[in-house]
Amino acid sequence: MAKIDFGGVVEEVVTSEEFTLEKAREVLKDEVIAVLGYGVQGPGQALNMRDNGVQVIVGQREGGASWDKAVADGFVPGETLFPLEEAARKATVIQYLLSDAGQVAMWPRIRECLSEGDALYFSHGFGVVYKDQTGIVPPENVDVILAAPKGSGTTVRTNFLDGSGINSSFAVFQDYTGRAKERTLALGIAIGSGYLFGTTFENEVYSDLTGERGVLMGCLAGVMEAQYNLLRKHGHTPSEAFNETVEELTQSLIRLVAQNGMDWMFANCSTTAQRGALDWAPKFRDAVVPVFDDLYESVRNGGETRRTLECNSAPDYREKLNAELKEIGDSEMWKAGAAVRALRPENRGK
């Protein structure tokens, strides 16, 4: 493991330079890896592993859109694509990539498909950590491991194709075979991780639930809407409000932050923007501290899990979700966004 100084704290991480793809292939050469679930993460991980030369089969409920997508991606029914339980039985590594609520629903049946020495792999600590709510308690005679890409399954695939990667965390919850760690690292490399950093199942799920509810999506959506509404309230046009809130962020500034960091961004805008942004950053930081404290507590005490499972297991889940998303899509702000996106030179006339 390479020792890297992260801002003064030294951590051990794994890169594909030290744990090479060749080594990953060697570790996995006798394994059959079943990716259960072909939704968002399933395709990214399955296709990257297949392209990296490891033996992958897919397990998916028959007949739906995800099954058809797996077929379109070259998985062959009866050869490399099977119903869930059949795939799980054929495999030595079971990548449990159903939706988290789906994992709970299917667990009593998937559990029966595990054999001694198999590896049960997750990309989230959710099922195992909140076992009192999920009922997911793996048998003692399997490895229980995790590689969790810190990005969407969509970019797990597109970054792989463009030669970059998505960083992943890894953890071993249970080492039955004595090979759990090397299996985890090999899988982490095979799915195309940029680098792998160690965590625990608990820390993975606490940080992941916080991040997606916080800065990555929930907080971001909330503050963007607040600024858009503020500008509209003061008479700015939708085009101006959207450009000043979202389009400039996604098309310009956040790309520069990705390349160079926030200090560089502060140093490379106008001195006017620089002074104001440096002054206002701590005010925004302090304003959201209580909300973040509430969020972390709700993650830690299982409240977020309860709500997720209740909503996502409801029979009318899809209709309710679609109505919620339609309301956002139909709002002035995001309709303005669609108009702005259509005006990007590369999108004109499409």
Ligand X SMILES: NC(=O)c1ccc[n+]([C@@H]2O[C@H](COP(=O)([O-])OP(=O)(O)OC[C@H]3O[C@@H](n4cnc5c(N)ncnc54)[C@H](O)[C@@H]3O)[C@@H](O)[C@H]2O)c1
Ligand Y SMILES: CC(C)(O)[C@@H](O)C(=O)O
331 annotated binding-site participant: no
**Site stretch for ligand X (CB under 6 A), options 149-157, 250-258, 263-271, 329-337:** 149-157
Per CB under 5 A, does 304 bind Mg ion? no
Per CB under 6 A, does 40 bind ligand X? yes
Distance CA 179, CA 121 (A): 13
**Site stretch for ligand X (CB under 6 A), options 61-69, 256-264, 291-299, 320-328:** 61-69
Question: What distances in angstroms separate CA 49 from CA 13, 54, 158, 198, 211, one per listed residue?
Answer: 21, 6, 13, 21, 26
161, two tokens: 């194709």
Among 119, 148, 209, 336, binds ligand X (CB under 6 A): 148
Distance CA 129, CA 189 (A): 24
Min separation Cβ 160 and ligand Y, Å? 15
275-314 b/e (C-beta count within 10 Å ≥ 16 → b):
eeeeeeeeeeeeeeeeeeeebbebbeeeebbeebbeebee
Residue 39: name its binding partner from Mg ion, ligand X, ligand Y, none (Cβ under 5 to 8 Å by kind): ligand X
Nearest to 24 by CA among 52, 57, 63, 58: 52
Min separation Cβ 177 and ligand Y, Å? 28
Question: What residues from 143 to 162 belong to the interface with ligand Y (CB under 6 A)?
Answer: 151-152
Per CB under 6 A, does 167 bind ligand Y? no
Contact 25, 55 (CB under 8 A): no
- Measured at CB, which residue is nearest to ligand X? 39
Per CB under 6 A, does 208 bind ligand Y? yes
From residue 211 to residue 250, what is the string marking binding to ligand Y with x (rule CB under 6 A)? -x---x----------------------------------
75-100 b/e (C-beta count within 10 Å ≥ 16 → b):
beeeebbbebeebbbebbbbbbbbbb
Question: What distances in angstroms separate CA 267 from CA 154, 208, 285, one per listed residue?
Answer: 33, 31, 20
Beta strands in 103-249 (DSSP E): 119-122, 143-149, 166-174, 193-198
Min separation Cβ 99 and ligand Y, Å? 9
Among 208, 210, 304, 305, binds Mg ion (CB under 5 A): 208
Question: What residues from 95 to 124 belong to the interface with ligand X (CB under 6 A)?
Answer: 97-100, 102, 105-106, 123-124
Contact residues: ligand X, CB under 6 A: 37-42, 60-61, 64, 66, 97-100, 102, 105-106, 123-124, 126, 148-149, 152-153
Contact residues: Mg ion, CB under 5 A: 208, 212
